[in-house]
Amino acid sequence: MIIEIIKGDITQIKADAIVNAANTSLLGGGGVDGAIHRKGGKAILDECIQIRNKQGGCKTGEAVITTAGNLPSKYVIHTVGPFWKNGKSLEVELLQNCYLSTLELAVRNDVKTIAFPNISTGIYKFPKKLAAEIALDIVDRFENKEQIDKIIFVCFDDENFKIYNDIIDGDFEYE
Ligand code: AR6
């Protein structure tokens, strides 16, 4: 499995799946969620509404899959990251679950290339370095790694891009 770190807009990435940092309503919002729905078009929202009708949205730490509509990818995997409160409200575990449930859903749908945004590090205020460590650690420990060809971490801001590159370049240790 190849890991790539790039700086850019995830809506322009052509992968089997791109990941959306959604909210529990699945009805769209600001940040990357807003951009994905805006550029992907109504087909994405229609499927999100169907999922809502069936299971009542998406819980924090879980993931659901829809079409990518007009985007160059095939699927969007919507996952809901935790809002950072004080670090004592299971934020770490919930963010780990986001990455893990997304990867599991990807494998179940035969997704070979997947692009992640830096989930929770925008509007949800999760500390960026800790979020990057969690993302890379979960990917590294994923037990079905051999079923995925490539993971792209798409950083939108310079700070996240630098954090990911520093972790990858250095001796990465996470406990
Ligand atoms: N491509 C890639 N990354 C992006 C893009 C983009 N087009 N736009 C923003 N980012 P955020 P959250 C980065 O706020 O913190 C929404 O309203 C951004 O710089 O999108 O998980 C949802 O509906 C940051 O690094 O998501 C929820 O209510 C990262 O994506 C809430 O925001 C995540 O920032 C979720 O908050």
Q: Is residue 22 predicted with pLDDT exceeding 80?
A: yes
9 in contact with ligand 1, CB cutoff 6 A? yes
What does the pLDDT read at residue 169? 87
Q: Mind listing the pLDDT tens digit for each residue in 87-118?
A: 999 999 999 999 999 999 999 999 999 999 99
What does the pLDDT read at residue 171? 57
**Beta partners for 64?**
78
Q: Would you call 140 a catalytic residue per the annotation?
A: no
Q: Please, what is the average pLDDT of the chain?
A: 96
Section 58-73 average pLDDT: 98
Supply the pTM of this predicted model. 0.97
Cβ-based neighbour number of residue 151 at 10 Å: 24
- Catalytic option among 16, 33, 166, 171: 33
Written as one letter, the residue type at 151 is I
Tokens of 105: 């859903």
Q: Outline where the chain has alpha helix (H).
A: 31-40, 42-55, 91-108, 128-141, 158-169
Q: Is residue 68 predicted with pLDDT exceeding 70?
A: yes
Section 47-63 average pLDDT: 98
Tokens of 8: 């850019």
